[in-house]
Amino acid sequence: MNKRIYTLIAVAFVGTASTFAAEPDSTMVNIAYGSEPEWRVTSSVATLDGDELLRTTSPSVGNAIAGKLPGLTLFQWGGQPRYDFGISSLAMRGKTSYTSGNMLVFVDGFESSLDNLTAAEIESISLLKDASALALYGARGANGVILVTTRRGIEGKPAIKVRLQTGIQTMISSADPVDSYTYATLYNQACVNDGLAPEYSEYVLEAYKDGTDPYLYPNVNWKKEMLRPVAPLSSADVTFRGGNKIVKYFALLSAAGTSGYFKGTDPKKNESSNAGYNTVNFRSNIDLNLARGLSAAFTFGGRIGIMSFPGGGVTTSGLFKSMYSTPPNAFPVHNPDGSWGGNSTQTNPVGDLTAKGAYKENNRSMQLVFTPRYDLDFITDGLSVSASVAYGSQMAETSEKKRD
């Protein structure tokens, strides 16, 4: 006889149920004709959030974005303050020309420079790379385009942020000069190798070694006399942000300063010829809802910069060359009467640095943009008309003090 056997299995589970709702990516990307959600952009565009820049210590926006935007190459030609970064140092996917390879930089829709900005006022940066993204810029956009959007106000309680930074810069590597005894010994060896008589006698070598007569047998470390081991840098900025349904605002005041490695101060005149760059940035962005469908945006920003470096026909590269090419036993820094040491073939590097003069350059830049907008939703959803009027100015004033 066949029997059917039924088994009843009861399973109990204790837990929680969660509901997940898929939401579209709300990240907006700046493109040539406005901004679009990231998921709708099909061209090659790299974006960088402004908050990422605040995590760096560099006072230069150009140096701060290095390595953060795929396809962007930064060439830093020198370490002198302000000249450590320039617009010609940017290249998209490698440098394509030795004569004209500058990228276009647009700030809030109008051509400007990254050198006029500070990290605290930047909302986002977009790098346009391929042909479809650059089509609207024509031939001028062949080397790439950078679009910068500055921060604007948001609805909410007023928020005040204060950010202070201070630090030091050090050289990655630099050659240390030898002393006079080592220099003279090696010079004698070079003479012997060439079949010549030694230049320095044993008496002179001992005089360099014991240092009993620093004027007749000097032993000068020109690097130590001219350079300090570190160079300070600091920055401070204050931002105000807030608004309501009628008005939204963002304001910024920022100051930054960096100096070079030269000691560069003449104690007799109390004037510094050291390289340095001090800046003050300001910005005020206001958005107004004037009436139903009618709004206006005001954008005002600028920078004041003061650059200084040695003057009197002296250049930074020339000072470094003189510092390393002048032998330690050539002459003392000062003669017994206090005058500068020197000879008929070489100048005194310390004297060139501190006693030739000082060069200063004051540069000011400003940008003002007014954009009214009227929504035409009564015709079709999303339709609007707007116009922008912009005013920009740049000015540089130079002065040089030459010392006798």
Residue range 56-81, pLDDT digits in tens: 877 788 888 888 888 888 777 666 77
Indicate the range of 29-33, 163-167, 314-318, 371-375 predicted with least confidence.
29-33
State whether 142 and 188 are in the same domain: no
State whether 109 and 136 are in the same domain: yes
State whether 361 and 271 are in the same domain: yes
* Mean pLDDT, range 289-316, rounded to an integer: 89
* The model's pTM: 0.79
State whether 266 and 317 are in the same domain: yes
Q: Does residue 147 have a pLDDT over 60?
A: yes
Q: Does residue 158 have a pLDDT over 80?
A: yes
CATH number reported for the structural domain that contains residue 45 in this entry? 2.170.130.10
Q: Is residue 11 part of a domain?
A: no
Higher confidence at residue 353 or residue 189?
A: 189
Q: Which domain holds residue 136?
A: 28-150
State whether 134 and 146 are in the same domain: yes
State whether 251 and 378 are in the same domain: yes
Whole-number pLDDT of residue 189: 96
Whole-number pLDDT of residue 143: 82
State whether 257 and 317 are in the same domain: yes
Q: Is residue 163 part of a domain?
A: yes
Q: Is residue 245 part of a domain?
A: yes
Higher confidence at residue 15 or residue 304?
A: 304
Mean pLDDT of the chain: 83
CA 146 vs CA 31, 71, 108: distances in Å: 10, 12, 11
State whether 270 and 290 are in the same domain: yes
Q: Is residue 21 part of a domain?
A: no
* Mean pLDDT, range 193-219, rounded to an integer: 93
State whether 113 and 210 are in the same domain: no
**Cα angle 55-57-59, degrees, rounded to a multiple of 5:** 120
Whole-number pLDDT of residue 15: 45
Q: Is residue 324 part of a domain?
A: yes
State whether 212 and 254 are in the same domain: no
pLDDT per residue as tens digits for the range 244-276? 999 999 999 999 988 888 886 655 556 678 888
Indicate the range of 16-20, 41-45, 99-103 predicted with least confidence.
16-20
**44 is written with which tokens?**
């090659």
Total domains, the chain? 3
Whole-number pLDDT of residue 9: 44
Whole-number pLDDT of residue 130: 82
pLDDT per residue as tens digits for the range 99-133? 566 788 899 888 888 888 999 999 999 888 888 77
Q: Is residue 12 part of a domain?
A: no
Q: Is residue 16 part of a domain?
A: no
pLDDT > 90: percent of the chain: 40
Q: Is residue 242 part of a domain?
A: yes
Whole-number pLDDT of residue 173: 81
* Mean pLDDT, range 294-309, rounded to an integer: 92
Whole-number pLDDT of residue 328: 95
State whether 213 and 302 are in the same domain: no
State whether 392 and 291 are in the same domain: yes
